[in-house]
Homo-oligomer: A and B are copies of this chain.
Amino acid sequence: MNSSRPVTIKDIARRFRCSPSTVSRALNDHPAINEDTRKNIQEYAKEVGYQRNEVSLSLLNKKTATLGVVVPTIGNYYETAVIEGLHTILQPLGYTLNICVTNENYLLEKEYLSKLLSNRTEGIFLSVSQETYDAGYYEHLESVIQRKTPLIFIDREYEDFETSRATVDDYHGAFAAVEHLLTIGYKNVAHLKGPNGLTVSEQRFKGYRDCLKKYDIPIREELIINTNFKVESAIVPTKRLLDLDSPPDAIFGVNDQVAIGAMRVILDRGLKIPGDVGIVGFDNSPISAYTYPSLTTVHRPGRKIGMEASRLFLNQLNGSGDFVHENIVLPTELIIRESSLRIS
């Protein structure tokens, strides 16, 4: 059993009866190294499977080439699209993404941030957890700020925090969705809302509300019911909506999952979509184009958000001390499909 301690530069130096510096230089193609020495050392290194210890280099250079991505979940299409976008830009620059999933849990988020800092992560992309938002905690961010580690908020942000942000224009996306329903003749639009407090939920809700206002339609509180973004969480609320004395003739879901859940309940009642009830979702997840009926939805550019967030990070990194934080808001796009095509 040869213990498998990784081969170090010192081991190689011993083997060639030279100093570690020589080995280091030989491996890095330093010009001031004899051609033969270089060749021999490189060959031997390859042979014994030498791999340089990046940990020691990190310590020396105070650079880890690692970035933290802290998100509440990776269960939805959107988050994975964001990660893909980050990846697209940052991987080629040599960065490793350390993806941390908080499960909407404040304590975990705090722990991850602390760990990322301890590991000298060079930047953090953060989409705060629901618990964090609910409780209004933010002390755990202080240390990130204090250490001047670039911090980029994704989507869910603290409004009173001085950092760069990349967000989707949820407000206008929601507005457009509801306006679309109203203009083709739906009168009573319900909203399956996201969890209270989260920016995405609230912005979409505002878009819904303001659009109704614009068309002089009174807000009916009973048409607004909370969900938790998951498909299951739409079932009971939709039933409640349909059981109302004056049920809605259209539903705007906070995301596609919820909209799909709602569709199911509606179809089960023998109602027609879009004939009896119109449906609009949010996200433009791949599945939304293939449900039956296909789902009208608001495209949310996750990949672009990831790429923009990367750009924000890079700007902040290269920026001077008095760097002004940027706030990117990407537009959404209404994708009209069958679930809202009223055959009048």
Which residues of B have CB within 8 Å of A263?
Answer: 292
A101 interface contact, C-beta 8 A: yes
Which residues of A (66-113) have their CB < 8 Å from a CB of B? 73-75, 77, 80, 83-84, 87, 91, 96-101, 103, 108
Binds B, one of A50-58, A174-182, A193-201, A306-314: A50-58
Q: How far is the CA of A286 from the CA of B231 in the complex (A)?
A: 7
The minimal Cβ–Cβ distance linking A237 to chain B, given in whole angstroms, is 14
Which residues of B have CB within 8 Å of A241?
Answer: none
Verify B77–A147 contact, CB threshold 8 A.
Answer: no
A1 interface contact, C-beta 8 A: yes
Verify B286–A232 contact, CB threshold 8 A.
Answer: yes
Which residues of A (125-178) have their CB < 8 Å from a CB of B? 143, 146-148
A115 interface contact, C-beta 8 A: yes
Verify B59–A87 contact, CB threshold 8 A.
Answer: no
Verify B267–A54 contact, CB threshold 8 A.
Answer: no
Task: Decide yes or no: A143 and B49 within 8 Å by CB, A55-B58, A59-B56, A80-B74 being known contacts.
Answer: yes
Which residues of A (1-54) have their CB < 8 Å from a CB of B? 1, 4, 6, 49, 51-54
Q: Could you list which residues of chain A lie within 8 angstroms of chain B, going by C-beta atoms?
A: 1, 4, 6, 49, 51-56, 58-59, 64, 73-75, 77, 80, 83-84, 87, 91, 96-101, 103, 108, 114-115, 117-120, 143, 146-148, 230-232, 257, 260-261, 263-264, 267, 286-287, 289-292, 294, 321
